[in-house]
Structure 1
Amino acid sequence: MLIGGTTVASAASAGRDVGWVCMYRDDNYAGGSVSLTNTTTSIAVLSNYGFNDEVNSWFSNYKYDSAWFYDANYGGSRKCMNSYSSNHSLSLADYDEASSAKKYTSATAC
């Protein structure tokens, strides 16, 4: 499903497209997702997509680094999502904290 330029998809299909970074509501890439795609490279306010403070796992199929942030507009603590990597379960301290996210144009941005 596409919402405002941001894809919200099932865990079965999201995150596997080349160049995409998907953040999932639940552990193990489940519970729905919001994605940074080839055309949507940043989301300044995840709450605009019903996804504020919801992220618990992520999958990156992107050649460069990405990051999610504790606060909207890329503020607060930054948590890196390195190229071609994933995290099936965020630490308890990071659970449900993401409020914005963006893709970088460098594999060494983080």
Structure 2
Amino acid sequence: MNAPDALAASGDCASTDVCLFDNENYTGFMFARDAYWDQQVATWNLSVAGFNDRMSSWINNGPHDARWFWGANATGGSECMNSSSRNSYVGWYDNDEASSIQVYTDAGAC
């Protein structure tokens, strides 16, 4: 993928996906990745998808925990995105700071 998925709303986030949104309240462009991993931890750099430093809200519909990071390759400060949870606004400090995400293999990683 070379660009964010598309203008979206919370209902566009599939039942096993971690979705990051450009704007608060799950609106704007959406970056989505499957959060159903059993084999290994998966890491994605958001710059590859044109979504670096753009996230304002997120949804984790998957059964496994995930984490977003300020730096590429899962480095720097980070925040947990527990399984089956959401955040309608990450706050002024974390807004537009996500550079990578990591999806874990269970719901107890955070």
Interval of TM-score (by shorter of Structure 1 and Structure 2) = 0.7 to 0.9
Q: TM-score, normalised by structure 1?
A: 0.85
- Note the alpha carbon deviations across 1:51-108, whole angstroms, 9 max, x for none: 0000000011101100100000000011100010000001111000000002111111
What residue is the counterpart of 1:58 in the other structure?
58
SS of equivalent to 2:98? coil
Question: Which amino acid counterpart does residue 11 of structure 1 have in structure 2?
Answer: A
RMSD after superposition: 2.1
Unaligned residue ranges in structure 1 (runs of 5+)? none
What residue is the counterpart of 1:91 in the other structure?
91
Question: Which amino acid counterpart does residue 56 of structure 2 have in structure 1?
Answer: N
Question: Which amino acid counterpart does residue 28 of structure 2 have in structure 1?
Answer: G
Check conservation: 1:59, 1:87, Cα contact below 8 A: yes
What residue is the counterpart of 2:7 in the other structure?
10
- Deviation of the 1:39 alpha carbon: 7.9
What residue is the counterpart of 2:32 in the other structure?
35
Unaligned residue ranges in structure 2 (runs of 5+)? none
Equivalent pairs, count: 105
How far apart are the structure 1 equivalents of 2:50 and 2:101?
14
SS of equivalent to 2:52? coil
Q: Percent identity?
A: 38
Structure 1 residues 7, 51: closer, same or farther in 2, change over 3 A?
closer
How far apart are the structure 2 equivalents of 1:74 and 1:51?
15
